[in-house]
């Protein structure tokens, strides 16, 4: 039997971190078993579902590389199917018509809560014989006894059916409700493994009861522990960015997020770094932990940095262009781009950070950081810079290697340490005191720009001398 898993988000917002991990685990499990991964949009709540949300979820999935084999299926297009099954259950007598109005139910709920009783439906329409000409909801008649959820991750969980209320499976307007659609869909789509957040555990016995009433075999259930924020409550906007696409905008690589999410709740010995293929090969539900985990942005950052170092400069260039645009820089035609990135990628935690620190490579003129200029662009360095200019113009090939040799000869001549030369030059070249290594940076920048910046620095130092 082929494994079939599904991810079934409701389109009431963007794809968030928790949903992405659920999707990822479903995807990994399906891929590991050479099965099918199905995408289903749970939009039975017509009022809250939006087209924008659907698109946002699809975008997020695509960015993460979680491709689906079937779907997206939309529950809103399957209402006839649900109604048909609801009627069957009604005829079988395992469901009944409930004529209580939402207002009445709400009033009773509040009263119960006030008196400290469980806000459970009292079943007053259960054995009603008449059929008044009024709108009715279809309720499932929960049988007595106990229902056992056999969960791959959590183990066996027993529920007393008396704690489960007669749930509505079809609203009085004829639309189906969640617990019912899920079962009908999972049955008709031949889902073999239901992998979802453990916030669904309490729904599971209800769904099992419906499976039984329908006469269908149960899928295997696996309930994933929640992802928590730093205060150990359910991850939400209060904890910062929760939208997957926000991570794209912050300059994260999709695989960094995938690797991070995979390791949040799942482990493979002491291994931290996994390629996509390794993830597929090594993933198993057995090694998913039971306890919830706190989302840790620092570790994500570390992984991102790791994968940035691991990515070819050419590819990074492509990814960096949109971030450069925000600085008003169009670098797509700049042949220096890959070389520039090579100097930067060892020291960037995000693509955005890399773009921010690359700006000096692209500007016509740079501005000096006042403190840096005051400390390093001193008139006493004019002579040194003139020598530098000669060497830089004279060196046969403008590479890190020959530049280093050329610089060393200056240093030897003047009896200087590299620091005395590198820091002033760094300020002249970049405007600040922090940058990539001086030789690799010169090579990446190119002779033309380097020479012009040294000249500018000499002019600047002369001005300073004149003022003094």
Partner RNA sequence: GGUCCUAUCGUCUAGAGGCCUAGGACGUGGCCCUCUCAAGGCUAAAACACGGGUUCGAAUCCCGUUAGGACCGCCA
Nearer to RNA, 111 or 465 (CB): 111
Nearer to RNA, 124 or 462 (CB): 124
Tokens 């709920």 label which residue?
A: 109
Nearer to RNA, 105 or 246 (CB): 105
Which position among 93, 269, 328, 370 is part of the footprint of RNA (CB under 7 A)? 269
Q: Which residues contact 204 (CB under 8 A, 6 or more apart)?
A: 149, 151, 221, 223
State how far the Cα of 22 lies from the Cα of 208, in Å rounded to an integer.
21
Question: Which tokens belong to 409?
Answer: 């000869």
CA dihedral 96, 101, 104, 109 (to 10 degrees): 60
Task: Give DSSP secondary structure letters for 246-302.
Answer: HHHHTT--HHHHHHHHHHTTB--TT-----HHHHHHH--GGGB-SS-EE--HHHHHH
State how far the Cα of 343 lies from the Cα of 426, in Å rounded to an integer.
14
Q: Please tell me whether residue 298 binds RNA under the rule CB under 7 A.
A: yes
- Do 123 and 150 meet the contact criterion of CB atoms below 8 Å apart? no
Q: Please tell me whether residue 76 binds RNA under the rule CB under 7 A.
A: no
Question: Which tokens belong to 186?
Answer: 């999972």
Q: Please tell me whether residue 124 binds RNA under the rule CB under 7 A.
A: no
Q: Please tell me whether residue 237 binds RNA under the rule CB under 7 A.
A: no
Respond yes or no: is residue 237 known to be catalytic. yes
Identify which range of 20-28, 37-45, 79-87, 310-318 contacts RNA by CB under 7 A. Answer: 37-45
Q: Annotated catalytic residue: which of 237, 325, 371, 462?
A: 237
Which position among 7, 27, 37, 178 is part of the footprint of RNA (CB under 7 A)? 178
Asked if omega into 190 is within 30° of 0 (cis), the reply is no
Q: Please tell me whether residue 42 binds RNA under the rule CB under 7 A.
A: yes
Q: Please tell me whether residue 161 binds RNA under the rule CB under 7 A.
A: no
Which position among 45, 59, 81, 456 is part of the footprint of RNA (CB under 7 A)? 45
Identify which range of 132-140, 185-193, 212-220, 320-328 contacts RNA by CB under 7 A. Answer: 132-140
Site for RNA in 379-408 (CB under 7 A): none
Which position among 32, 83, 108, 171 is part of the footprint of RNA (CB under 7 A)? 171
Question: Which tokens belong to 375?
Answer: 């400390």
CA dihedral 95, 98, 104, 109 (to 10 degrees): -10
Question: Which tokens belong to 301?
Answer: 């950052």
Cβ 333 to RNA, closest distance in Å?
A: 27
Cβ 202 to RNA, closest distance in Å?
A: 4
Which residues carry out catalysis? 237
């Amino acid at each position: 039997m082929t494994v079939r898993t599904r991810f079934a988000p409701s389109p009431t917002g963007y794809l968030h971190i928790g949903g992405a991990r659920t999707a990822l685990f479903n995807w990994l499990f399906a891929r590991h078993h050479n099965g099918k991964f199905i995408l289903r949009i749970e939009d039975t709540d017509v009022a809250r579902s939006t087209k924008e949300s659907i698109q946002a979820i699809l975008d997020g999935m695509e960015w993460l590389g979680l491709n689906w084999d079937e779907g997206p299926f939309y529950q809103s297009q399957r209402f006839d199917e649900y109604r048909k099954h609801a009627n069957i259950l009604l005829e079988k007598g395992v469901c009944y018509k409930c004529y209580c109005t939402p207002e009445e139910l709400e009033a009773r709920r509040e009263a119960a809560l006030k008196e400290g009783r469980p806000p459970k439906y009292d079943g007053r329409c259960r054995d009603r014989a008449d059929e008044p000409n009024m709108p009715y909801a279809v309720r499932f008649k929960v049988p007595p006894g106990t229902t056992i959820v056999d969960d791959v991750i959590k183990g066996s969980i027993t529920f007393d059916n008396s704690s489960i209320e007669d749930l509505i499976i079809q609203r009085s307007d004829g639309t189906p409700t969640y617990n019912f659609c899920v079962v009908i869909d999972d049955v008709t789509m031949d889902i073999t493994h239901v992998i979802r957040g453990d916030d669904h555990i309490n729904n599971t016995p209800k769904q099992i009861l419906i499976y039984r009433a329908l006469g269908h075999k149960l899928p295997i259930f696996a309930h994933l522990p929640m992802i928590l924020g730093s205060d150990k409550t359910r991850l939400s906007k209060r904890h910062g960015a929760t939208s997957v696409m926000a991570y794209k905008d912050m300059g994260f690589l999709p695989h960094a997020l995938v690797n991070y999410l995979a390791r949040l709740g799942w482990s493979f010995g002491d291994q931290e770094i996994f390629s996509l293929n390794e993830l597929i090969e090594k993933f198993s539900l057995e090694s998913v932990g039971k306890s919830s985990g706190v989302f840790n942005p620092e570790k994500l950052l570390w992984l991102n940095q790791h994968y940035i170092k691991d990515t070819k400069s050419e590819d990074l260039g492509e990814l960096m262009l949109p971030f450069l645009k925000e600085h008003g820089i169009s670098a797509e035609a700049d042949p220096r781009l890959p070389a520039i990135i090579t100097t930067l990628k060892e020291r960037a935690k995000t693509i955005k950070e890399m773009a921010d620190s690359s700006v000096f490579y692209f500007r016509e003129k740079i501005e000096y950081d006042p403190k840096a200029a005051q400390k390093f662009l001193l008139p006493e360095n004019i002579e040194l810079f003139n020598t530098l200019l000669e060497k830089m113009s004279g060196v046969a090939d403008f590479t890190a290697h020959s530049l280093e040799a050329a610089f060393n000869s200056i240093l030897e001549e003047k009896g200087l340490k590299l620091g005395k030369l590198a820091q002033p030059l760094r300020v002249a070249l970049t405007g600040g005191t922090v940058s990539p290594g001086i030789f690799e940076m010169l090579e990446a920048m190119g002779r033309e720009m380097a020479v012009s910046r040294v000249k500018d620095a000499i002019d600047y130092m002369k001005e300073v001398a004149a003022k003094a």
